[in-house]
Structure 1
Amino acid sequence: MHLQSHHPYPSRRSAVAADNLVATSHPLAAQAGLSMLYQGGNAVDAALAAAIALTVVEPTGNGIGSDAFAILWDGAELHGLNASGRSPANWTAERFSGHAKMPFHGWESVTVPGAVSAWVNLSERFGKLPFEKLFEPAIGYAQNGFPVSPVIAALWQRGAGQLSHQPGFAETFMPDGRAPKAGEYFKSPGHARTLKRIAETKGKAFYEGDIAEEIAAFAAEHDAALTLDDLATHRADWCGTISKGFDDSILHEIPPNGQGIAALMGLGILSGTNIRDLDADDPQAHHLQIEAMKLALRDAEHYVADLDHMRNITVSDMLDDGYLAARAREIDPNRASDFGVGAPRHGGTVYLSAADASGMMVSFIQSNYAGFGSGVVVPGTGIALQNRGAGFSLDPSNQNAVGPRKRPFHTIIPGFLMDHEGPVMSFGVMGGPMQAQGHVQMVLRTQLFGQDPQMAVDAPRWRVTDGLGVACETTMPAEVLERLRAMGHDISLETPDNAFGFGGAQLIHRLPGKGYVAGSDPRKDGMAVGF
């Protein structure tokens, strides 16, 4: 990994190098994490303080009612945590019989929030600082207020227009009857109160105590399925990781119910192509990646579900080298294809990364799914509940079919890159279906094409949509777009600031010998900071 002084992409940012680093999508959250490192904490403490702060300062992508996942290197071993929640016990197929598809907003999209359990589990097992200390920056921002940043202000305005009628939303997120503007101060005393109770009780108040009772009572008031028992029976799982190699690099992802397997499949498919002979911005390199991701995503969307319910096709089937090589042979090097689902043989989000001088590295992601999530906000608590239930299928034959106490298909994925000598990079690219595609683009840019983290983050991105559709950023060179169109890709152009369209990447890469280098996405308000 070499730091480049000349960048070919439109960004004024330079990669940040230090012994201790935090990279997030919001400056105040990055500073919250850094403050824990200054106070003797480790990378887990930094990641958690940043994540908790993000529930306050970036409510357009996450909140106390989020789910979360993490991959961390503790200095000797890699660990994976799945803290996504399950559906309410009363979510039977019959409950949704009158729907054409799963509801996207409102109480009927709300699953049990898992993020708080992630904070508790990570802190108990790996943190150095007292749990309560991790909450201090976030509580301060909620209690005293903070100036709303530009990207968040735009997303807030959009969310308010869609969700103002949802229970509790306007009361919490629309003071004076509107969304706050960039630079205006926003306070959330209810949010501060909830965080204090979570900190004091190490999460018990949220799942079993007074906060849980407030959530369940508000659900009952609206005839929703979520109960106190649903909250009390939640658990996060230390699930390990699944992985796939590309030359000397080994990408690790969380096992299903997440879409991380699609990134692994994409890399596995690309291993069977000539992409190693191409340059980073060669139209042919984009074409091969696009085709590989179409193949991977078609399979992931069809087969991925709660791991306890994946009975027809297994993870091993989907990552089988022979199967991925066969999928690679389906790619026409000269033409775009509209692939169907394969047949393996039987057998709006926030992302952050932190690393410290001891060698610990953390890849952490939490999300309400669609911006503010369901739009439902428990009065007086600041808790915006996620809409992860929208990830279920209403097709009873689908492994991801809605059912009781079941985890839905998840888009949010933390990434972690290893090589045969140890950890290489903790990274993620927030933004719905962009995430697995973004992981592949970041891995190839940093490992195959030798770009530093900031250069890789700055580079124009593409995103597979439906059929032959590919959304590209307007910063993509005209000659590249022209060549992709000539190959049959149905290109649409979007600006890089298109909400979550092209994601927000945060990368921390180990330097040879000592230290790290980080990149933070200019598409967001955030930054990488260190010392």
Structure 2
Amino acid sequence: MRDLQLPGRSPAMAMNGMAATHNPHATRVAIEVLRSGGAAIDAAVAAAAVLAVVEPQQTGIGGDCFVLMAKNGTGDIIGYNGSGRTPRGLPTTGLAPEGATQIEDCSPHSVTIPGAIDAWTRLVADHGRKEIGELLQPAIDFARNGFPVHPRVAHDWVEDAPRLRRDPNAARIFLPNDRPLRAGEVFRNPGLADALSLIAKNGRDGFYKGPVAKEIVNYLRGLGGYHTLEDFETAEGEYVTPVRTTYRDMEVCQIPPNNQGITALLMLNILEGFDLSAMEPMSAERLHLEVEAGRLAYRDRDAFVCDTRHAAYPFDEILSKDYAARLRAEISPDRFATHLPPPLMRKSDTVYLTVVDKDRNCVSFINSVYWGFGSTRVAPTFGITLQNRGMGFSLDPSHPNAVGPGKRPLHTIMPGMALKNGRPWLVYGVMGGDYQPFGHTHVLTGVADFGLDPQAAIDQARIFHTMGETVVERGIPKDTVEQLRQMGHTIVEAPEPHGGGQMIMIDWDQGVLIGGSDSRMDGCALGY
């Protein structure tokens, strides 16, 4: 239990259903859907649509999503890959300036075909109890009639303003009065309301056929892109078999590559050989091991994660306990290793949400446009921000993740789920681009090794390694920071929080749902 004399908040608790998102409007809408008879996936899609309006810097219908689902509390976990591909006519060279290591963030070549709407409509049709048209109505209302901007959204908006100014459409829509919105000001996006209304009326065809698709294709081709109407008409996600590993007495599930979720599983396999519970939660010993395990896992991520339809991936070796033991042997418990290459880290903007309904259908749901406001390329009349996931490709033609036509890039957004005794126990996710495997590992070990509740595990101060530096949030104790420095870490104070997160824990014995929502964001967990 938390110290009630210190700042913080208790976890939410309920028995019938629960939702945790990082915007109060989205959480409220999810609960309303559950209370009116909707299934967990109905509530998740309705909340994701609201977030696509009220958090435009984080997510949108011009982005992608991934989902893990447990049906009726069983351990038969369903995975869905809702990430988009490059245009079929995309060449393999000439997509970036000479000598560039990645596609530019605002390039039309960074815009992969959005997969979110196809995923939303298909998942609702296959597993929901309501129609997509009904579920989109709250988002349409927010887009047309407005909403007050929350503090974290306003903070991000200011940071992204210089990038928004590069595109006339983005500047006109998202910088009214030639500046970003401030906290408490009301923002409207009527063009997005029109696009959502077409989807509500026509389903996926409202996005992938007709005026919305035509406008996006014409706009991108005018910028030099290779997108076609056929690319949009044939875009579709797919059900996938989750990848799994065990950690202590849990089974942990992630989406397979092209998703980076397997990186978190490798980190857990490495850390399983250390007795973390014998350490203090915010000790240098624990955090050092977390960093070293991450550096090893990210090294493999950068080498192997790709679209497995186009290149092979060594699943069995990467997830074997023997392989983790070999990597673990490279870690010194009290000294930063100097021989590991640093992973190339990138920040992204993403929304994660989780919903559990009264039948214990569980949804772990993540949606993103990647960087803040994605590519900052915005459809002129429909106000749709287009993602820049193409930045995830390698420009090295020999790399498994090399850019090419009809391919999915390495994807950073990852929903998580952990099972105990064959049933869902933790439904969780942590946002923050490349930070996400670190974040998943940090909150999961917080629960498994230190007995923290979901809110406490999410609130714990965070650390991760990027570009040769160990970046620490201000909540890390000063003594711990100094000990890490003495171990050889190059310490840098985090300029902003490491991601955000949500978690719902299921107490099967009591029939209680326990939820947490990250104080680094604006949202909350609620139940009924």
With the shorter chain as reference, the TM-score category is over 0.9
CA distance in 2 between partners of 1:107 and 1:96 (Å): 9
CA distance in 2 between partners of 1:269 and 1:197 (Å): 48
CA distance in 2 between partners of 1:64 and 1:254 (Å): 21
CA offset digits 1:125-165 (Å, max 9, x no partner):
11111211111110110111011111101111221222212
Contact 1:283 1:480 in 2 (8 A): yes
SS in 2 for 1:529: strand
Confirm whether residue 79 of structure 1 aligns to residue 78 of structure 2.
Answer: yes
Q: Which residue pairs with 1:36 in the alignment?
A: 33
* One-letter code aligned to 1:447: A
* One-letter code aligned to 1:236: G
Contact 1:150 1:525 in 2 (8 A): yes
Contact 2:355 2:364 in 1 (8 A): yes
CA offset digits 1:93-126 (Å, max 9, x no partner):
2232644131122312111001111111210111
Q: Which residue pairs with 1:445 in the alignment?
A: 446
How far does residue 208 in structure 1 lie from its aligned partner after superposition? 2.2
Off by >4 Å, runs of 4+ in structure 1: none
Confirm whether residue 14 of structure 1 aligns to residue 29 of structure 2.
Answer: no
How far does residue 315 in structure 1 lie from its aligned partner after superposition? 1.6
Q: Which residue pairs with 2:475 in the alignment?
A: 475
Kindly report the root-mean-square deviation, in angstroms, between the aligned alpha carbons of the 2 structures. 1.6
Q: Which residue pairs with 2:346 in the alignment?
A: none
CA distance in 1 between partners of 2:44 and 2:168 (Å): 31
CA distance in 1 between partners of 2:474 and 2:283 (Å): 17
CA distance in 1 between partners of 2:423 and 2:160 (Å): 42
Cα 1:339–1:84, aligned 2, differ >3 Å: closer, same or farther?
farther
Q: Describe how 1:168-207 pairs up with structure 2 within 5 A.
A: 168-207=169-208
* One-letter code aligned to 2:80: L
CA distance in 2 between partners of 1:226 and 1:157 (Å): 31
CA distance in 1 between partners of 2:238 and 2:111 (Å): 20
Cα 1:508–1:11, aligned 2, differ >3 Å: closer, same or farther?
farther
CA offset digits 1:402-446 (Å, max 9, x no partner):
000000011100011112331011111011111010000111001
SS in 2 for 1:451: coil
Q: Which residue pairs with 1:49 in the alignment?
A: 46
SS in 1 for 2:193: helix
CA distance in 1 between partners of 2:514 and 2:431 (Å): 20
Q: Describe how 1:7-406 pairs up with structure 2 within 5 A.
A: 11-19=7-15, 20-75=17-72, 76=74, 77-96=76-95, 98-99=97-98, 100-101=100-101, 102-311=103-312, 313-340=313-340, 348-406=349-407
SS in 2 for 1:307: coil
CA offset digits 1:220-247 (Å, max 9, x no partner):
2222111111111211010120011111
Relative to the length of structure 2, the TM-score reads 0.95
CA distance in 2 between partners of 1:319 and 1:38 (Å): 40
Contact 2:282 2:476 in 1 (8 A): no
CA distance in 2 between partners of 1:247 and 1:299 (Å): 23
Contact 1:255 1:307 in 2 (8 A): no
Question: Across the two proteins, how many residue pairs are aligned to each other?
Answer: 516
CA distance in 2 between partners of 1:506 and 1:338 (Å): 34
Confirm whether residue 512 of structure 1 aligns to residue 473 of structure 2.
Answer: no
CA distance in 2 between partners of 1:166 and 1:372 (Å): 11
SS in 2 for 1:471: strand
Q: Which residue pairs with 1:345 in the alignment?
A: none
Contact 1:88 1:230 in 2 (8 A): yes
CA distance in 2 between partners of 1:318 and 1:338 (Å): 23
Contact 2:70 2:424 in 1 (8 A): yes
CA distance in 1 between partners of 2:259 and 2:339 (Å): 22
How far does residue 475 in structure 1 lie from its aligned partner after superposition? 1.1
* One-letter code aligned to 2:506: R
CA offset digits 1:445-482 (Å, max 9, x no partner):
01111000111111110011123x21010111111111
SS in 2 for 1:261: helix
Contact 2:504 2:515 in 1 (8 A): yes
CA offset digits 1:335-377 (Å, max 9, x no partner):
01135379xxxxx100001111111111000000001000000
SS in 2 for 1:59: coil
Contact 2:276 2:449 in 1 (8 A): no
* One-letter code aligned to 1:161: P
SS in 1 for 2:93: helix
How far does residue 310 in structure 1 lie from its aligned partner after superposition? 3.0
Relative to the length of structure 1, the TM-score reads 0.94
* One-letter code aligned to 1:233: T
* One-letter code aligned to 2:53: V
SS in 1 for 2:470: strand
Cα 1:86–1:351, aligned 2, differ >3 Å: closer, same or farther?
same
Contact 2:208 2:232 in 1 (8 A): yes
Contact 1:167 1:375 in 2 (8 A): no
